[in-house]
Structure 1
Amino acid sequence: MRSAFKSKELAVVRSLDALKERFIERLHSDRNALNTIAKSHPVTSHIQHREIAKLAHGIAGAGGFFGFDHLSRRASEMEATLEAESTEAEQREALSSLIRELDAVIAQMRKERAL
């Protein structure tokens, strides 16, 4: 009985590890996409707003799931900034802040993987 429980527990841990690996890959992809948008002038086009909002929404949810509350908050702030029809400068600052937080989480996860 105990062996069956351990086996299921191990399977759950492996599944979570696989999800975390996909999360890391997605963070890299999302960070690159946001960085590309951040380099464009202006970032206020409707298409860019939709893309940023979509990425930020996904980051907020996944970040919260994996316990990265700061990342989740930054992504939610990005969404709120876009919804508030804020200025270009406010949007750029929120986007830069989100990218910095993504960089911090990616660096943290790399460090954890190296241990």
Structure 2
Amino acid sequence: MHAAGLRFRLAAKTLPGKPDIVLSKHRAIVLVHGCFWHRHEGCKYTTMPATNTAFWMAKFEANINRDRRVRKLLEDAGWRVFLIWECEIAVAELKRLRDRIVSGT
């Protein structure tokens, strides 16, 4: 993103949820979610640990609820929020994301 001319901050502590990437000029935020921790539906990396299942189910549900809450807070504050999953990170996907940020869509 930096090579494409986009300037950003990482883990902005002043915003809800400390978003991964903040592009202030574009009023855009990029959340990079790990498939395991944030429960990417249908992803091969979204596995369930074999032991202590009740703990893990509660932990994952709390993560999902927090993600929803943080996204709503950011959007209500006027930020455009983009989500990219860990398994989707590839050069082509990052280029498409960059194009969407710059175009304002």
TM-score tier, shorter chain, comes to 0.3 to 0.5
Given the two structures, how large is their TM-score scaled by the length of structure 1?
Answer: 0.31
Higher share of residues assigned helix: 1
Q: Which structure is larger by alpha-carbon Rg, 1 or 2?
A: 1
Given the two structures, how large is their TM-score scaled by the length of structure 2?
Answer: 0.32
